[in-house]
Chain A
Amino acid sequence: MASQQILFSPAELAYLHRSLSLKPPIRPDGRAPTQFRPLTAETGILPGTNGSARVHFSDGTEAIVGVKAEIEKTIEAPRAEESKPESNEAASERTRGDWLELAVEIPGQRDDEASTVFLSEMLREALLADKEFAKKLFINRRFHWRLYLDVLLISPPLSYPLPLLSLTTHLALLATRLPRLKSEGDEDPMFDDDWEASTFLYPQEGTATNGSRPPITLLVVAIGDNVIFDPAKEELAVAETALAVSVAEVRRAQKAGDMEVDSKGRELSLLSIRTIDPPSRLTPPGVPHTSNTGSSAFAPTKLQKAGDQETEGVWKAPLGGTKFGVLDGIIQAVLEKGGVADEVLDGLEGVELS
């Protein structure tokens, strides 16, 4: 993040900050504060993968995700021998987070750069935060699936790519199918050859849809008193706080009677929060007109202290941290029933899975 140069002048930043802290904020692209950029999405674009997705944002950024699964032998922990008569249930609890390998590739950046690693750890963390995911990869006590999630940004990173990559990963995981298991118990796994019979990693509607769904990570910034979702590059450049909040829908077993209850809202669970270093801290400060020695008409009459006080309308990079109340407001805005997370999940549900 720090490596990205911000090419805005102090005057531009002051203007952006001013219009974004109005109530309601005026965003450069005319969106409402909770509105996402329009996107087009499709799944099943890569024939060689278990599941894939492509998402294209209206600002020209585009990402593809491919999911590939391999069978791997489970390495027994040295303690396992003591407790031989273990039920299948207990064994499935010995799942490990490193069964999932996630790689993020962003053009123009090295894959071991700190910001890229930060992005991939963030996506990985959200997936593994509830222990449900690793359980899906369990085959039997001797074998498990190893899932490779390759996230590729194919356009240059015009804005912070986190929401885009997260939504694409979400769709790809929803579209992921694994071959149907034919063998039973702890024998070597045998699979059904028929791809039509394969099962979805996250079961579809109609069947047992209990349990968690793949997470989405939303990027939220606070500017003044406003909470703004899915910030564009200009908005991130003046943000005082940027948070990445991962949420997932949890579906509970529902009886036949309460269909209406389900349609009203979904149950969201919070999986992870990370502060993102806002690039606004690296922006150049503006020089107030009164202390500008270059303008002869308003020559400074008295010595100004070294820029400690802020002048109205002159840009100064934010200093210090964020109040607890502001952070809490952001989290509440994400988790709100019928809020942005719901809207995004509704939109993604409309994407046809192939």
Chain B
Amino acid sequence: MSIDIQSKPTETPSKDKKWVGSKLNRLEDKRLIRGKGNYMEDLKPLPNIHHAAILRSPHGHARIKKIDYTKAIDIPGVRSVLVGDDIRDWVKPFPVVADNPGKYFPMAIDKVRYVGEPVAVVIAENQYVAEDALDLINVEYEALSATVNIEEAISEEAPLLHEEEGTNVAIQRNTKFGNVDEAFEEADTVVKERVVFNRFTCMPLETYGVIGHWDSSNHAANIWCNFQGPFSMHAVMAKALGVVPNKLRIMVPSDVGGGFGIKITIYPYSCLITLASRKAGVPVKWIEDRRENLIGSSSGTDRVTYMEMAAKKDGTITGVRYKIMDSVGAYIRPPEPGTIFRPYGNYSGPYKFRNVELDLTAVMTNKVPTGPNRGYSCGQLYHALERTVDKLAHTLNIDPVDLRRKNILEPSQFPYTTPTGGYYDVGDYPAVLNKLLKSADYKQLLKKQEEMRKQGRHVGIGISLAVDPAASNMGYMDVGTPKDHSNKERPKSGSSEAATITIDYGGGITVTLNTAPQGQGHETVAAQIVADQFGCSPYDILVTTGSDTGTRAWTIASGAYSSRFSGTAANAILMACEGLIVKMKKVASHLMECSTENLDVIDGKVVHKEDAQLSMSLKKLAGIIHWNPTILPDEISNGLTHTSYFSLDSVKPVDENGRVNSSGLYSFAVDLALVEIDKKTFELNILKYYMAHDIGKSLNPQIVEGQLYGGMLHGLANTLYEEMVYDKNGQILTGTLMDYTCPTSAESIDLEIDHLETPSTLTPLGARGTGEVATMTVPAALTNAVNDALKPYNVVINDLPITPSKLFSILKEAEK
């Protein structure tokens, strides 16, 4: 029995059906199911690669008095040891948008500020020997008191992480939109809520990997790493390493074992390993181990939010005040403090209210520096917003669904500009909500809940809404630019991507991207798009992903993050196809002696519109262009390669009122959960989980479903299972997978998913983002459902993760 999966798609589009939108099995799978992937650890791109092991701080906060590595360097096989003193003259701090950021270098120089901070790097002939040497490095520390709690770290008494700054608050911004104070003064009801979001990490199965090669003859750095973009970090790295941009080459292999945001913040390690190469004079490879990953990579921020919501008696929300405090860890590492700014344009979510106050603070604590984590700061945002909406519903004794229906944007309001600058192009949010309510049979569900409650069961229904931002605006960070620094001279904007397509002499099509995907199926979707344009099979198309800034077309925004492929790269690919088609039509019109306007591309052929007999295959045309260019008219250039750049026009710089459309595209999602708290064990059983989305055009429904399930798992993980726990000295208590417990197949849940496709008006293919949305809705829906279950007992739980142990304490307290 043999099935060639390449020739057996789940669905075969017919003539009038396109590959785009079909459930095409993935092209990537062919190598991955055979164990022939090409991951960072598999690479040996240069001879004489040495291996690095990193000595890390055992202290949450300490001064480095002395480092003695004489014994380590004596071990046979050890080539060199890099310490903080070595890099003083080689690097500049990473540039940051913040008022009091402290100085962040690739490794500790005078002080360590979190457990796991790199203190020394051993470079040896293999990993085993490198780790032997770590054991022989003697570091003398003077331990200092640490601060790990957000609200304590802000206080005057807190130990300072960066003494020169005089505060642990890296950045604080307070901005009002509309007439917030008036809205609160005139409100019939004001509800207040404090919610706490836990610190958890992406935990991709593949850890960080870097091969750094310092080219001393050119003062250049060649770096292979499993970076996921954005390539704006290229600028951050070039500045830190003191190289001009064209002398920093970043290469990402075709296969990256998951990212979910964490591989954005690999770049300090990319720099560190390159500095190790500079010291050792050989290329250096470092594969992070799982312990390092859990203590020293990155995580999402833990956040405390104080919410205030003003409303009329009838439930109309009139204003919202957010007081957000994020713990960004020991350093503020770009793209942080993006955590407080990334959803700038959608702080009002899917709702109509126009009066918003944002009080946003990023606080430094003795924990690992944070960074994007699937849904970057939106899980936090909607957890707080949707909890407060539920509290308002509870206070006014209005059904939570009815309250939301009253406040969500109407289709007639689109295109809609939010009070903070977000631009929602088109949508029918009530229709999506209705779709969900219908699938869930909401009224019946309420009755069922009532019956179960009568049986004494702790049953709850929770709903959450989210506007999911995708394709981040490269300019959103400018809202954080210090007020005395005018950013008018160099405003930033855009969310762009590049694609190059080449057709070879045999008609073979190669797509070259710089999108550095980590499993999102870019090769497949690119092939679907191209196949539709040229009328060929997607399986005949070669798509090269990963990245190479030295040889490929790329943009500052390139990469696979913020759910951006379907709204950016997909369009660049489409445009590159169009560019080639224009050229091929020109050649055909010359050869066929007709006007290009009379030509169409159908089924791999250029065909005359009025005479189908008159046609030329693309293969033949490509052959002529490559083999016989002299017959082409002068105005047609040689070759068949086209590079296109696409940027979303709607993502402009910050405006004069401090508003910004922080993302290019916004999907809409509604989740509903039915849960039960076990009365004996206090475990949470998720009985039913419904989702409805409008993600615009779905380019590959199978991949979309995979993304929704994957996002759900991250949401489930942070809501119920995962937390990075630190003690008061900054010791991390979850440094292995034995302590940091990830949900397995046994904990995962089934979803009932509905879609409403309203194509985006901003992208030629009509697609928006989908990869992160479930991480935004799941924590809020589950927390609301649990609190609905707790409602008869008049208690609430607003801090994640919601564990059986916490539910036990709360309900026992309620019994008293």
Q: Do A and B come from one complex?
A: no
